[in-house]
Structure 1
């Protein structure tokens, strides 16, 4: 009886029920790919993919809830109790177009032929319903040795799909493995083929690499391979501050964008340069915005002026004081209001990754006092104020304009920092005074 140790028991049972149904109707069925590899490595399994000699049409007939997600390439998604399993017909692949994708696929009945087309030996292992492994290319042996080895002739595998070169580096990085010498040599010979690969496909591999356990190793392998020089999108190399790259593993892999923020700092990118670079790398707008906010907050905190003290021994007390006029505190609170509390909390994690020489006295105090200062805030957004813009306009008996937004932000900062009580009459009196002496008068 097959046993799985690294996948949810319900998921394993649902997957095995699919193999049993295939077998009951005279078809072969095997778990293949990442789930088999990760079970052997003792790594958590998220997806269980299945290969079969049943044709896509036969799979569609056999199972009730199906989606023809990749029927042209033989893949049918079968849904069991809301969980998705991809079942793919054994296949061989014809000529590849532009070193990216097969021009055609041919369905076959032989599991060996299906495994022979795969990228690396560790991904070319199958496991049947009896729990036995089918491993014609000695993938388990390579896993034990910590080796990334192409199935068959490495050059042919990379000619077929040049993305496999980046995947190989990603696996070596995440698993802390080494590329087998012939595989590495073939990669170096064919590295220019990476220019055929869409940036989005490379970015997905890079995300997994940087979020993994050994991102520094991945970056070194990328540099040693020379792949970066042939990619469609320019990457500033070498890094302006390579020592920051060495600190990547100090930052938690989740949220993974923290590591990308550190990479942007290492490359010497300011906020707008980072925005442009990440957009070119096809990151989502949400991801780009988070990194940019974090970089801007960091730059803003770097500009805080150190309060002076007659006695240098009192300097810590001067900076760390809870006085409402403390510029460090006001700058942090303004940053929280402008960039969000989540960004400020991420900055605290980023600070811990910075090398010691970056820990200026002011930044150190900001880091140490940030939790207390954030907790002391009387408001975090305009919604927390006791008045809104319309209330201010009514109290001033005037019409709105750009000045109103600036005044509301000024009120928010005053309330958040404790300079102004969040009480209606107090806030409206403040609005009258500052509207007359500030933005409205100049509007």
Structure 2
């Protein structure tokens, strides 16, 4: 086993001053599973005040809870003092933290046995809670009483499911029962922390594993109640042999592991239960579901504190994901590119291919491929496809005496339509002349 040089330096320094130092948590778990290690956490009997004196650059943002961040070679490493927690008042953080001199006492206050394995710098494993046995049996088990662990920090319930999704372990029966019993307490957790765990589930190799389990335990319905009607909702369609939620999970698993695409997949059909109509042949239709699903996605993502950029991109992917433009001419394809945005096209097609994989027939693949090729052909012609490509800007229209913002926007939209049909007219002088003619005809009053 070869650890990063920085880790050896930290552990050597702590040992050199007479302190214990062990790798702990996810780093050890992933080393034992031969998985990538993203973060290295170290636990020690050195107190925070002592750690500050041992290293040149430290960050004290977590010092109240016994964590000091050490910066070496521009990389950050968290070192946490052994501790024993006292009462948790809000299912999030301990009301009081007391430090300990005993490694095992520190380990018993952690979340899961597979995260309570330690390793010294020589690679020797310290495992008083039998986490290795659970790793060998591929089990996620809460330490001690799972109700106690989840009442200490309700986010641990979501973390258990995230780990299940990431490393494809099974949650042990007692731990899972406790998650179900305590699922509603996830509402005590901040939106930012929930978002962080949800993102990890969505970006795992098979996100459906985690989301099915979140729905089964009641946690997903607590976080996103809007999705509950999708469970078991039949589509009465010759194209769909799955209920809406199961279809959504298949789509998720078939998308690329990119956050915006997977969020779009999660929400792309969320309003279908409110849009169902059945024709005289018994075939189900969901007219306009993409519009309402896009709106709902925006509401939920705002609630979960996603960035405006992520929210807007997810909205676009959902709003325009039914590719009705497949059988239309070049002008329609240009409008599609304009609405979706050139930078979003690859993600849009990825979502649509995954959507087809979630249906009972794949016959739409050829048409989708044709649409993808047509969009690329048009892009390769370097014709104007959005307002940024116009050779006239809002300031040019203002110089012609028009100052109302909405009116300027309407004029630019008209010019965009004009150059869709006649790309050769995307010339500043010609466009200014068109605006002058519009003003003479006064069609905008």
Q: Scaled by the length of structure 2, what TM-score is found? A: 0.84
Aligned partner of 1:404 among 397, 403, 408: 408
Q: Does 1:234 align with 2:225?
A: yes
Deviations 1:84-108 (A, max 9, x none): 1111111010011132221111111
After superposition, residues 247-262 of structure 1 pair within 5 angstroms as: 247-253=251-257, 255-262=258-265
Deviations 1:343-363 (A, max 9, x none): 222211111111255839865
The match for 1:7 is none
Displacement of 1:246 after TM fit? 1.7
Aligned partner of 1:266 among 269, 286, 290: 269
Q: Distance in 2 between matches of 1:233 and 1:390?
A: 43
Number of equivalenced pairs: 407
Displacement of 1:149 after TM fit? 0.9
The match for 1:314 is none
Displacement of 1:71 after TM fit? 0.9
Aligned partner of 1:139 among 113, 127, 131: 131
Tell me if structure 1 keeps the 8 A contact 2:268–2:294: no
Tell me if structure 2 keeps the 8 A contact 1:154–1:183: yes
After superposition, residues 188-267 of structure 1 pair within 5 angstroms as: 188-229=180-221, 231=222, 234-239=225-230, 241-242=244-245, 243-253=247-257, 255-267=258-270
Aligned partner of 1:428 among 426, 429, 432: 432
Deviations 1:244-265 (A, max 9, x none): 3222111011x22211111112
Deviations 1:379-405 (A, max 9, x none): 3444443333444565xx543433333
Deviation larger for 91-100 or 192-201: 192-201
The match for 2:321 is 298
Deviation larger for 12-21 or 184-193: 184-193
The match for 1:51 is 43
Describe the SS at the equivalent of 1:237: helix
The match for 2:241 is none
Deviations 1:98-125 (A, max 9, x none): 3222111111111111111110111101
Describe the SS at the equivalent of 1:102: coil
Deviations 1:236-294 (A, max 9, x none): 214252213222111011x2221111111232252212211222233222211111121
Q: Does 1:442 align with 2:424?
A: no
Displacement of 1:336 after TM fit? 2.9
Q: Which runs of no fewer than 5 residues in structure 2 stay unpaired? A: 234-243, 272-291
Aligned partner of 2:371 among 366, 374, 391: 366
Q: Which runs of no fewer than 5 residues in structure 1 stay unpaired? A: 5-11, 307-318, 320-325
Displacement of 1:429 after TM fit? 3.8
The structure-2 alpha-carbon separation of the partners of 1:155 and 1:405, relative to structure 1 and needing over 3 Å to count, comes to closer
Q: Distance in 1 between matches of 2:440 and 2:32?
A: 72
After superposition, residues 1-400 of structure 1 pair within 5 angstroms as: 3-4=2-3, 12-229=4-221, 231=222, 234-239=225-230, 241-242=244-245, 243-253=247-257, 255-268=258-271, 269-299=292-322, 301-302=323-324, 304=325, 306=327, 319=328, 326=329, 329-355=330-356, 356=359, 359=364, 365-392=370-397, 397-400=400-403
The structure-2 alpha-carbon separation of the partners of 1:360 and 1:59, relative to structure 1 and needing over 3 Å to count, comes to closer
The structure-2 alpha-carbon separation of the partners of 1:82 and 1:361, relative to structure 1 and needing over 3 Å to count, comes to closer
Displacement of 1:235 after TM fit? 3.4
The structure-2 alpha-carbon separation of the partners of 1:417 and 1:51, relative to structure 1 and needing over 3 Å to count, comes to farther
Describe the SS at the equivalent of 2:59: strand
Tell me if structure 2 keeps the 8 A contact 1:169–1:222: yes
Q: Distance in 2 between matches of 1:156 and 1:64?
A: 38
Tell me if structure 2 keeps the 8 A contact 1:49–1:85: yes
Describe the SS at the equivalent of 2:129: coil
Displacement of 1:13 after TM fit? 0.4
Q: Distance in 1 between matches of 2:33 and 2:340?
A: 41
Tell me if structure 2 keeps the 8 A contact 1:414–1:420: no
The structure-2 alpha-carbon separation of the partners of 1:423 and 1:22, relative to structure 1 and needing over 3 Å to count, comes to same
Tell me if structure 2 keeps the 8 A contact 1:77–1:84: yes
Q: Distance in 2 between matches of 1:424 and 1:105?
A: 68
After superposition, the CA RMSD in angstroms is: 2.5
Tell me if structure 2 keeps the 8 A contact 1:378–1:418: no
Q: Distance in 1 between matches of 2:55 and 2:331?
A: 62
Q: Distance in 1 between matches of 2:333 and 2:293?
A: 20
Describe the SS at the equivalent of 1:86: strand
